[in-house]
Amino acid sequence: MLKDGQTTFGITVGIGSPEVPHVLGNLGLDWVNFDTQHSVLNDTAISQMIQALGQSNTVPIVRVLSNDVGQINKALDMGAQAVIVPLVNNRSEAERAVRAAKYKPPGSRSYGGRVSFRDSDYITTADKEIMVIPQVETALALQNIEDIVTTDGVDAVFCGPYDLSMSLGIFRQFENPEFQHAVEVFISTCKAHDVAPGLLAPAGPVRRNIELGFKMISLGGDLSFLIQSVSDALKTARR
């Protein structure tokens, strides 16, 4: 879809129950991000949740805790088809993430038989099919955005709007001209190098983010949706 220029939509999941992806997989989401950076999800939960999503066409993505070869290896071995790597600030850090996710030289991914149980061709196709998605969320990363997006093996790049705005000294001020300029630089650089720009958390109206050119758009998180839905239902009931 991204190669065809389509816009994709997903959500972030942090509630550690297979029931969540089991239900979400029937809704038509293009991808689900299982977040290990800012949630209580552990390896057992992620493995079960990826399996629960396996009955659908929704792509399982894991945001790893850090740019660590062991964590990236484990996420992929559990069945993730893409990894989001937080706090990537330059080319060397982007290259490290790619190496950890790829088998063939200069890749450093270790082979584990578990991942091939249901796909005998996995070892020959994984390097082409697995997506590596650095997350740009600091002023430094924005300065080095061209180096990051032109790193061989990077397929998409996520903008982390909350941390980026914090790094710029304008936390959550998504209407601030400085933040909007940062977004324009981010998207235009991605487009110039045929890398899909993503937005990992809501930052303004979805329509505007689509029109700006984001191609991977998170509609929100499971906890946020739960809070909003229950809050709205309760307010309606109280009235």
pLDDT given for residue 120 in this prediction: 87
Provide the pLDDT confidence category of residue 13 given band limits of 50, 70 and 90. Answer: very high
Provide the pLDDT confidence category of residue 115 given band limits of 50, 70 and 90. Answer: confident
pLDDT tens digit sequence for 121-160: 999 999 999 999 999 999 999 999 999 999 999 999 999 9
Cα–Cα distance for residue pair 65/30, rounded to 1 Å: 23
pLDDT tens digit sequence for 209-227: 999 999 999 999 999 999 9
pLDDT given for residue 117 in this prediction: 85
| Residues marked as catalytic | 38
pLDDT given for residue 114 in this prediction: 85
Q: What is the pTM of this model?
A: 0.95
SS3 per-residue string spanning the chain: CCCCCCCEEEEEECCCCCHHHHHHCCCCCCEEEEECCCCCCCHHHHHHHHHHHCCCCCEEEEECCCCCHHHHHHHHHCCCCEEEECCCCCHHHHHHHHHHHCCCCCCCCCCCHHHHCCCCCHHHHHHHHCEEEEEECCHHHHHCHHHHHCCCCCCEEEECHHHHHHHCCCCCCCCCHHHHHHHHHHHHHHHHCCCEEEECCCCCCHHHHHHHCCCEEEEEEHHHHHHHHHHHHHHHHHC
Residue 118 has pLDDT above 90, yes or no: no
Cα–Cα distance for residue pair 201/203, rounded to 1 Å: 6
Taking all residues of the chain, what is their mean pLDDT, rounded to a whole number? 96
pLDDT given for residue 206 in this prediction: 96
CATH homologous superfamily for the domain 8-238: Phosphoenolpyruvate-binding domains (3.20.20.60)
Provide the pLDDT confidence category of residue 23 given band limits of 50, 70 and 90. Answer: very high
Residue 9 has pLDDT above 90, yes or no: yes
Kindly list the domain boundaries of the chain, sorted by start residue: 8-238
Residue 52 has pLDDT above 90, yes or no: yes
pLDDT given for residue 113 in this prediction: 82
